[in-house]
Structures are given as C-alpha cells and as structure tokens.
C-alpha cells in the first residue's frame, strides 16, 4: 500500500506542470505578481538514495541572456550494489530572481528532493553499472522556456537536476544560473561591482619545547613541492599573472624554512619574501599564531600581551621591510575582549571570521570599527559563505558547482549594493568589498582555485583584488550585529597557566639583560614560553599543558645560571677594607652584573657598588669597599643586579666579624715590643762592655813581650818566615 501511495504522489507531482498554463503563455516578468505571492518550488518525496550521486560537470554559459541556451552537464554515479535501469533526469529552473543571501543559502544547502519550479528538459539513462558513472547534458532556452527577456530583472535563478529511478527520486542537485537581461553571456552591465579578496594563513604546527628541531622538520614537510604551504604559495604567486590570494604569514614559519638545511624550504622562503620574484601580498601574524582569546581572558595587561605575541625567534632571520602591515587572527567567534587583545598585540587589524554581520544581512564592505576598552579596533570581517565555498575548491569538490554558487552569491551582493545606493538617493559609493578567509588547515588545489577565480572575474561584476586594497580604506557606517563582551572558549589554555607563562617571560626578559645581546640568551626560552599559546595546540590540550610545564621549567633553569659562592665568615679588623663576593656564571655568555651589599647594622658602611663582567663558565671575586664604624657581628645581604637594575637571583646573606681598631692596637703592641727588644739589646751590650773580668790594653802588653815557656813560637806572617 505504501508503494502505491508513493507512486500516486509521484504521478501527481509529475502531472502538476501539465495542469499549469504553458510556459509560452506566461506574461512578461514585469507583469508577474510579486515573488512572495507565487510558489517557487515543487516538492517530491524527501527520501533519496544515498548510494546515487549527481554532480555538476559544466553549466554554460554561466551568465545567460534572453537569447541564450543554457547547457547543463551532470555526472551520475551509482554507488549501490545493483545496476540502475532507465533513469530519468529532469532539468528545472525558476523564473524569478533570488534576491537575498538567506534564500540563496537555503536553496544551496537543501539536500532534500526539492526541485525548482518548472521542468525545462528531460533525458534518460538506460543503465549504470554498480560503481560506474554516466554523463547527461540537458538544454534550456532562457528566452522561450523561461520567458526571461530584456525586461526581466538581473540576477541569479534557482536551477535543479533531479534523477529518478522507477519514478522515485534518488538524488537532486541544487544549483543556479545568473540572468543578464543585456545578454551575450554576461557582457552587460551588472548593478554594481563587487571586489573580492582572499586571505590564506601561513601557519605551522605546534612547537614542542622538548623537541624544537621537530618544528623545523614539520615546516620543511609543509613547504616541500607538494606540501600544503607550497600549494598555498602557488595560489598567492600564480605564474600566469591571474587573480592571487593574499597571505597572513606567521614569521616563525618563514624563519624556520629560511634557516633550515633543506633546499626546497629555503627556496620557498625566498619566494614568499620576494627574493628574485614578484612579492606576494602579505600581512604578518603575531609570532607562533597565538590564541588571542586565551591572552584576553587571563586578565593580562597590554605589555604582557604584546610580549607574548611578539616573542624573539632566536634565529638569524628577519622579516622583509615590505611586511609592514600586521593582522591578528582569532579562532572562531571572538568577543570584544579578544579584539582588544589583538590591538594590544600590536596588530593593525583584527580578522573576524565569524560575527559582525550586517544587522539586515545585506552587503557591506568588510571593514568595521569596534569599540573596546583599549580603544577603537579596526576589524576585517570575513564572509562565512564565500569563505566556505572557496575553501572547498579542490579536486574532491565540484568546481563547476562552486563556481555557480559563487556567481549567484556575488550577484546577490551586487544587487543589494545597488539597492543601497538607490536608497541613498543615488549618492556615489565605493563598490562593496568582501573578504574570504581560508581555514588554518587549508590545503588548496591551485588549479581548481584558479578556475574558480577566473570564472568569477569573467562573470563581469567581480574583481579579485589583494587584501591590501581594502586595508587602506575607511570603514563604512553600517549597523552590525554586536559581538559578546567576554565569552571564553573551553578550548583555550587556562588563565592560570597563561599568567604563569607571562610572569616567567617577564622575569626571563629582565634577567637576559646581563648579556650584551639579550636575545642570544633569552630567545629560545622566550619562544618556548609562547609556544603553548599557539592556536595549533587547541586540538591537543594534554600536549599543550606538557609544553607549558616544560617551558616554565626551562625558564627557571635559565634564571639559575648565576649564583653566589659561599666564602665562610670573614673578619674585618681595620677601619676600611674590601669584602670579596664570589660570583659564579654558568650561562653560555658573559654576564654583566652589579653587586650590592646591604648591611643590617650601621657599624658597617658600604662605600662602592661595583659592576663587573663575569666570564661564561667561570667564577670571579668582586671586591666591595667597606668602612667600619664600630665592632661587632654584622649580617650582610648580597644582591646581584642586571644592568636594568632587576635582581637576577634571590638575595643571599653572610656574616662579617667587624673588629674596628684591632689593626691599630696590634700595630702599637708590635711596635712597643720591638722598642722594648731594641732597648734591652742596647742595655745588654753596654752592660757587657763594663765587666771587671775583662783585660785592659795596658795589662795585655807585657804579656805579649815576654818569652813563652810552654810552647815554641810559630810565625804566622811571611816576614816571620823570612827571618
């Protein structure tokens, strides 16, 4: 019974056009009732066979005039396990224009068996084997079949191709064609021009502080001849000089490629920076493409956000001087706080890929000013529909179907812009300028994308231009839907961790001033502290937390490179003297430090604050001149400061035994002792000279003259020997 009812419904639907007046009898479009008073579609049963697919291969001309015949070629693929027999293929189209983007999107996104108003052509396919495909071409006379003539309004029309098996629909394709009343395949003048800019991100993988070399390896793979970033650059620098894509570039990616050992990666970096070729249209992203929402919701100040978003690369590479415009690119739907964070990061503009649409859904140039606590922020508002269609342009998608949708969508924008101009009493206004933003994981098909962009420009009302053409213009005064004030995303890094990373970055930055070139000391650590904030880590929260923990550990290790070596308890016995402080430098660079002693007792006064250079991997005794006022034990705190005046290690202390005056007393005692010994020696000498037992000269003379009776005389002089 159910099959019978279904067949009756199908027959009624197929017979419905016959009950209507013949198409040729329809009045001119200008005499037809308002669109809201007429049905636009006829509906077949909603069940379709998921195993059968109909795909648009070609529709020509894409812009049809009153005397044109539209030829539509489709490919029908049998994905079932059984052969398809005697298929009926119907081409249907609507005569009235689609005037709103909402209606256009509703028709394009509808995957039911809904068909356009009137069937214009039918064909059959005898058999399609399982897994096989067949192509069918159907034709429609725009002037005779649809009664679209010179007085019909310009714009897109609904079109469908339905495939029936045994009277039941198995798949329906929804597409469009654009009608130009002037004719000649779109050579007429459209209502107004639409400028379109495509911007694609050049971002890399998440950087793992535990293995920084892997980041370079991943960048090398992405920039290989068939890598995603290589294909992105191909569409930004088309060899035929056709429409090009603008690039939002993370400098860390280009730096990794430029400083790698891979020839292809280096060549890629030369191309993107314009070395030897025409340079791409480039805006720069903050370093490592940080998650601005996480920075905003952690309550950081502007300086901390700027530091996190502009980390030192730590390599010998710098961006070209032509890369002067910066762009912040939040993920998902941003809030007002996130826009303020983009401004604090130093970005000239913030790209909004979701939100800030016009309140009436109409066309508006993709520039807006948003008021935040940090002031007005210039935003670039991407169009979600155009972005999604262009991002899907690859070999796996129907380029022809995407081209028809883009032409229809931009035609609605052109018509809406013309209507706004009329509403403004014909005031001159600039063409509407829309932006399509590609996703971060985009891996384009260059040939398919070039085909789409060429088709758009051939339509006659779309001009594909660089993003820089938009950024220098003033934002129009258009009422837009407001963004939320503050709305955190669960995918963001926790505020506590963000604050810890910011505090560690501040400490490392101040600590690194001990080196002649702070970047050589802090560069790698600074980049590690920024890595966990990368949007690339949003999809890997556990790895992100591990990266944050490791980065904080690395920061602590760096700040432990300088230390004070204990010297025991010195004794100061003079009124003035030097207290030596031994500083140890385990850093890979020489360190310039200032040693400050702070006694806790006024009996010891510090007279000098020396600044010295401690060689890398060595220790140095730093003498500090002091003066003693009195005696006693004094605790002295030692501070080691960077040239910026910031302490580079935690203060330490030692005790000094101050014995003021001991040196003077000791000298006096020694001098007195020497004097006593000297006087004693003189006295003893004098006393020995006056002894009564000693013989006088007179007494000694006779004894010499008298002959000896005990021993013979032995002459000792030569004269004696001669005698």
Domain total for the chain? 3
Q: Which whole-number Å values give the CA distances from 489 to 296, 330, 371, 598, 658, in the listed order?
A: 11, 12, 21, 49, 62
Please tell me whether residues 171 and 208 are part of one structural domain: no
Q: From CA 600, how far away is CA 603, in angstroms rounded?
A: 9
Among residues 440, 456, 471, which one ends one of the domains? 471
Q: Write the DSSP string, 156-209.
A: EEEEEEEEEETTEEEEEEEEEEEE-TT-TTTTS--SS-EEEEEEEEE------T
- What CATH number is associated with residue 226? 3.20.110.20
- Domain C-terminal end among 471, 487, 519: 471
Between CA 532 and CA 91 the distance in angstroms is 54
417 occurs within a structural domain: yes
pLDDT along the chain (723 residues), means of 10: 35 34 34 34 44 92 91 95 93 92 91 85 95 96 89 92 91 93 53 90 95 95 96 90 90 96 96 79 96 96 94 88 94 94 96 86 83 93 92 72 93 83 58 93 91 90 94 86 93 96 94 90 88 96 96 93 86 85 94 94 91 95 90 91 89 85 48 62 66 51 47 44 32
Say if CB 389 and CB 409 are below 8 A apart: yes
- The answer to the question of residue 494 being in a domain is no
Contact criterion met (CB below 8 Å) for 262 and 220: yes
Say if residue 219 is in the same domain as residue 93: no
Is 122 found in the same domain as 90? yes
Per-residue b or e along 165-189, where b marks 16 or more CB atoms closer than 10 Å to that residue's CB: beebbbbbbbbbbbbbbebebbebe
Are 89 and 123 in contact, with CB atoms under 8 Å apart?
A: yes
Q: CA-CA distance, 172 to 329, in Å (whole number)?
A: 38
Longest dimension (CA), the chain: 186
Where among 456, 471, 486 does a domain terminate?
Answer: 471
Same structural domain, 199 and 137: no
Tell me what pLDDT residue 121 has.
Answer: 94
Q: How many helices (H) and strands (E) does the chain have?
A: 20, 28
The verdict on 200 and 312 lying in the same domain is: yes
Q: Are the C-beta atoms of 92 and 122 separated by less than 8 Å?
A: no
Do 174 and 200 share a domain, yes or no? no
Same domain, 149 and 45: yes
User: Which H helix or E strand runs over 220?
Assistant: helix 212-222
Adjacent-strand bridge partners of 249:
202, 284
The pLDDT score that the predictor gives to residue 181 is: 87
Q: Is residue 692 part of a domain?
A: no
Which tokens go with 236?
Answer: 């930004």
Tell me whether residue 128 is in a domain: yes
Nearest to 367 by CA among 382, 384, 388, 346: 382
Structure tokens at 616: 């890398």
Asked whether residue 247 falls in the same domain as residue 350, the answer is yes
Residue 436 lies in a domain: yes
Q: Strand, coil or helix: what is 401?
A: helix
Tell if the pTM clears 0.95, that is, is over it. no
Q: How far apart (Å, rounded) are the C-alpha atoms in residues 224 and 337?
A: 38
Does the bond joining 119 to the residue before it have cis omega, within 30 degrees of 0? no
Let me know if 584 is exposed, middle or buried by CB neighbors in 10 A (0-12, 13-18, 19+).
Answer: middle
155/207 same-domain check: no
Q: Flag whether 184 is in a domain.
A: no
- 390: which strand partners? none
Which of 596, 618, 593 has its CA nearest to residue 607?
Answer: 596
Domain extent for 619 = 562-662
Query: Within this chain, do residues 170 and 295 fall inside the same structural domain, yes or no?
Result: no
Residue 467 within any structural domain of the chain: yes
Verify that 428 and 279 share a domain, yes or no: yes
What's 472's DSSP letter? T
Tell whether 550 is covered by a domain: no
Do 65 and 101 reside in the same domain of the chain? yes
Tell me how far apart the alpha carbons of residues 419 and 230 are, in angstroms, rounded to a whole number.
Answer: 42
């Amino acid at each position: 019974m159910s099959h019978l009812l279904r067949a009756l419904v199908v027959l009624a639907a197929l017979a419905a056009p016959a009950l209507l007046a013949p198409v040729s009898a329809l009045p001119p479009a200008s005499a037809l009732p308002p669109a809201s008073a007429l049905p636009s579609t006829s509906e077949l049963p909603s069940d379709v066979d998921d195993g059968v697919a109909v795909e648009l291969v070609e529709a020509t001309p894409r812009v049809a005039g009153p005397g044109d015949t539209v030829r539509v070629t489709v490919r029908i693929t049998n994905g079932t396990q059984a052969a398809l027999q005697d298929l009926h293929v119907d081409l249907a189209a609507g005569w009235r224009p689609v005037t709103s983007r909402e209606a256009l999107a509703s028709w394009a996104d509808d995957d039911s068996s809904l068909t356009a108003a009137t069937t214009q052509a039918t064909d059959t396919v005898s058999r399609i084997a399982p897994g096989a495909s067949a192509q069918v071409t159907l034709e429609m006379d725009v002037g005779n079949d649809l009664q679209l003539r010179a007085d019909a309004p310009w714009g897109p029309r609904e079109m469908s191709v339905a495939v029936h098996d045994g009277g039941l629909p198995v798949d329906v394709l929804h597409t469009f064609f654009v009608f130009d009343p002037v004719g000649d395949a779109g050579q007429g003048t459209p209502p107004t021009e639409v400028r379109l800019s495509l911007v694609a991100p050049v971002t890399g993988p998440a950087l793992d502080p535990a293995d920084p070399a892997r980041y370079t390896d991943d960048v090398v793979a992405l920039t290989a001849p068939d890598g995603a970033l290589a294909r992105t650059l191909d569409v930004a620098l088309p060899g035929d000089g056709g429409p090009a894509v603008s690039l939002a570039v993370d400098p860390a990616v280009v730096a990794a490629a430029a400083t790698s050992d891979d020839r292809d990666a280096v060549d890629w970096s030369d191309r993107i920076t314009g070395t030897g070729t025409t340079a791409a249209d480039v805006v720069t992203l903050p370093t490592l493409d940080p998650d601005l929402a996480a920075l905003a919701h952690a309550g950081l100040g502007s300086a901390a956000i700027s530091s996190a978003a502009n980390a030192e690369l730590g390599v010998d590479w710098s961006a070209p001087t032509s890369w002067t415009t910066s762009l912040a690119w939040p993920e998902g739907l941003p809030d007002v706080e996130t826009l303020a964070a983009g401004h604090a990061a130093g970005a000239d503009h913030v790209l909004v890929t979701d939100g800030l649409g016009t309140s009436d859904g109409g066309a508006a140039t993709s520039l807006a000013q948003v008021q935040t606590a940090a002031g007005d922020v210039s935003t670039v508002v991407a169009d979600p529909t155009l972005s999604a269609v262009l991002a899907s342009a690859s070999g796996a998608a129907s380029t022809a179907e995407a081209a028809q949708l883009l032409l229809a969508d931009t035609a609605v924008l052109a018509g809406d812009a013309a209507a706004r101009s009329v509403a403004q009493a014909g005031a001159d206004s600039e063409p509407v300028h829309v932006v399509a933003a590609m996703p971060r994981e985009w891996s384009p098909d260059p040939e398919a994308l070039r085909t789409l962009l060429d088709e758009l420009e051939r339509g006659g009302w779309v001009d594909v231009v660089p993003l820089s053409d938009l950024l220098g213009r003033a934002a129009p005064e258009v009422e837009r839907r407001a963004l939320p004030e503050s709305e955190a995303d669960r995918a963001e890094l926790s505020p506590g961790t963000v604050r810890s990373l910011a505090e560690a970055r501040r400490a490392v930055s101040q600590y690194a001033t001990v080196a002649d070139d702070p970047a050589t000391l802090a560069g790698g650590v600074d980049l590690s502290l920024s890595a966990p904030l990368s949007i690339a880590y949003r999809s890997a929260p556990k790895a992100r937390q591990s990266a944050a923990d490791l980065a904080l550990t690395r920061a602590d290790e760096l700040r432990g490179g300088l230390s004070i070596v204990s010297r025991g308890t010195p004794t100061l016995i003079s009124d003035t003297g030097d207290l030596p402080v031994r500083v140890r430098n385990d850093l890979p660079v020489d360190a310039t430090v200032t040693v400050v002693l702070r006694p806790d007792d006024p009996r010891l006064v510090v007279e000098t604050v020396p600044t010295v250079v401690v060689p890398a991997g060595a220790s140095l005794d730093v003498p500090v001149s002091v003066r003693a006022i009195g005696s006693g034990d004094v605790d002295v705190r030692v501070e080691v400061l960077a040239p910026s005046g910031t302490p580079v290690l935690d203060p330490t202390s030692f005790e000094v035994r101050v014995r003021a005056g001991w040196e003077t007393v000791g000298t006096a005692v020694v001098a007195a002792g020497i004097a006593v010994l000297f006087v004693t020696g003189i006295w003893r000498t004098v006393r020995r000279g006056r002894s009564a037992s000693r013989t006088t000269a007179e007494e000694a003379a006779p004894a010499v003259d008298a002959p000896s009776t005990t021993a013979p005389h032995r002459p000792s002089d030569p004269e004696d020997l001669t005698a």
